[in-house]
Chains A and B, each alone.
Chain A
Amino acid sequence: DTAVSQTPKYLVTQMGNDKSIKCEQNLGHDTMYWYKQDSKKFLKIMFSYNNKELIINETVPNRFSPKSPDKAHLNLHINSLELGDSAVYFCASSQGRLGGIQPQHFGDGTRLSIL
Chain B
Amino acid sequence: DQQVKQNSPSLSVQEGRISILNCDYTNSMFDYFLWYKKYPAEGPTFLISISSIKDKNEDGRFTVFLNKSAKHLSLHIVPSQPGDSAVYFCAASESGGKLIFGQGTELSVKP
A interface list, Cβ under 8 A from B: 4, 40-45, 48, 56, 58, 90, 92, 97-109
Contact = CB atoms under 8 A, between A and B. Distances in A.
Residue from B34, B49, B99, B104 with most neighbouring chain A CB atoms (10 Å):
B99
B28 interface: no
B99 to A, nearest CB: 5
Interface stretch (B11-19, B37-45, B63-71, B72-80): B37-45
Nearest to A4: B43
Interface of B: 2, 32, 34, 36, 41-46, 49, 87, 89, 91-99, 101-104
Contacts of B93: 99-101
A4 B42 CA distance: 11
Given A101-B32, A103-B46, A107-B43, A40 B103 contact: yes
Given A41-B103, A99-B93, A48 B44 contact: no
- Most chain B beta-carbon neighbours within 10 Å: one of A41, A98, A102: A41
**Interface majority SS (helix, strand, loop, mixed), chain A:** loop
Among all A-B residue pairs, the 4 with the closest Cβ atoms? A100-B93, A106-B43, A98-B96, A103-B46
Contacts of B102: 42
Nearest to B30: A100
Contacts of A107: 43
6 contacts: A4-B43, A42-B2, A43-B101, A44-B101, A99-B96, A109-B41
B16 to A, nearest CB: 28
Given A42-B103, A43-B89, A44-B101, A101 B96 contact: yes
Contacts of A102: 96
Contacts of B92: 100
Contacts of B41: 108-109
Nearest to A56: B98
A106 B101 CA distance: 14
Contacts of A100: 32, 92-99
Nearest to B92: A100
B43 A97 contact: no
